[in-house]
Amino acid sequence: MIPIISIVGKSDSGKTTLIEKLVPELTRRGYRVATVKHDMHGFEVDREGKDSWRHKQAGAHTVVISSPQKLALIRDVEKDLTLDEIRRKWIQDVDLILSEGYKRDVQPKIEIFRKEKHKKLLCAKKDNLIAIVSNQKFRVGVPCFDLEDMRGLANFIEKDILKSKKEKEIFLRVDGRPIPMTPFVRDFLSKTIKGMLSALRGCQTSESIEIRIEGEGQSG
């Protein structure tokens, strides 16, 4: 599963600037990074009069704009999606997701703090805070990095998040709900599925396997 880190902080703390500095450091190391920006006030990406805007105004639920260089998706949603929902539905083929905001989400958080602007931290360890980036030292049980120390921060993310996630994992979801499994069941499922796939051409080796069963609802 792609790891997620939420960059959080109070207003004017520099969340976007931190992401702008951190992403190049991670990409230089060969990692592919996706970013998610949380906007509570709503947003528009297709300008009035453009073809995509006209498609949406006509009532299309989903509009996709595709070119040889990039692709954009505009889609109606019924609620404010969690980071896990966004990851499962729309983000693939990356090594890490950095989000800006989502301070109430359950994902691991790195808080940026500037002593000249704020008096106290927004998060604590109980909020899944894993690190602080600041021009002030904190002793709250998590690493604290200088505002310009992107190398140190990237080293931390690489060691504690990216490399630790390379271990074999298996997850089970039913109707979108994560189902907890004992180590025995997890190992049994993994070995059974891989054993079956090993008999199929082109599936002898694999880094990621996804199986989805839809439309199997029971009646009665």
By three-state DSSP, how is residue 156 classified? helix
In the predicted structure, residue 98 carries a pLDDT above the cut 90: yes
Q: Supply the pLDDT for residue 41.
A: 57
Whether 5 and 110 have beta carbons less than 8 Å apart is answered as: yes
In the predicted structure, residue 171 carries a pLDDT above the cut 60: yes
C-alpha to C-alpha distance for 39 and 45, rounded to whole angstroms: 13
Domains and CATH numbers, the chain: 4-40+80-166 (3.40.50.300), 169-220 (no CATH)
In the predicted structure, residue 91 carries a pLDDT above the cut 60: yes
Query: What's the helix, strand, coil split of the chain in %, to 5?
Result: 30, 20, 50
Reading the block at residue 88, the tokens are 């499962």
By three-state DSSP, how is residue 52 classified? helix
Instruction: Region of 162 please: left (phi>0), alpha (psi -120 to 50) or beta.
Output: alpha
Pseudo-torsion of CA 175, 180, 186, 190, nearest 10°? Answer: 20
C-alpha to C-alpha distance for 110 and 131, rounded to whole angstroms: 5
Q: What percent of the chain has pLDDT over 70?
A: 89
C-alpha to C-alpha distance for 83 and 37, rounded to whole angstroms: 10
In the predicted structure, residue 165 carries a pLDDT above the cut 90: no
Whether 73 and 55 have beta carbons less than 8 Å apart is answered as: no
Q: Supply the pLDDT for residue 148.
A: 96
Query: In the predicted model, what is the mean pLDDT of residues 141-162?
Result: 96
Mean of per-residue pLDDT scores for the chain: 86
pLDDT tens, residue by residue, 24-75: 999 999 999 999 998 765 556 767 778 888 888 888 888 888 889 888 888 8
Contacting residues for 183 by C-beta, under 8 A, at least 6 apart: none
Contacting residues for 83 by C-beta, under 8 A, at least 6 apart: 4, 6, 36, 97, 99, 102, 105, 107
Whole-Å CA distances, 197 to 57, 63, 211? 45, 35, 11
Q: Supply the pLDDT for residue 155.
A: 97
Q: Supply the pLDDT for residue 134.
A: 96
In the predicted structure, residue 81 carries a pLDDT above the cut 70: yes
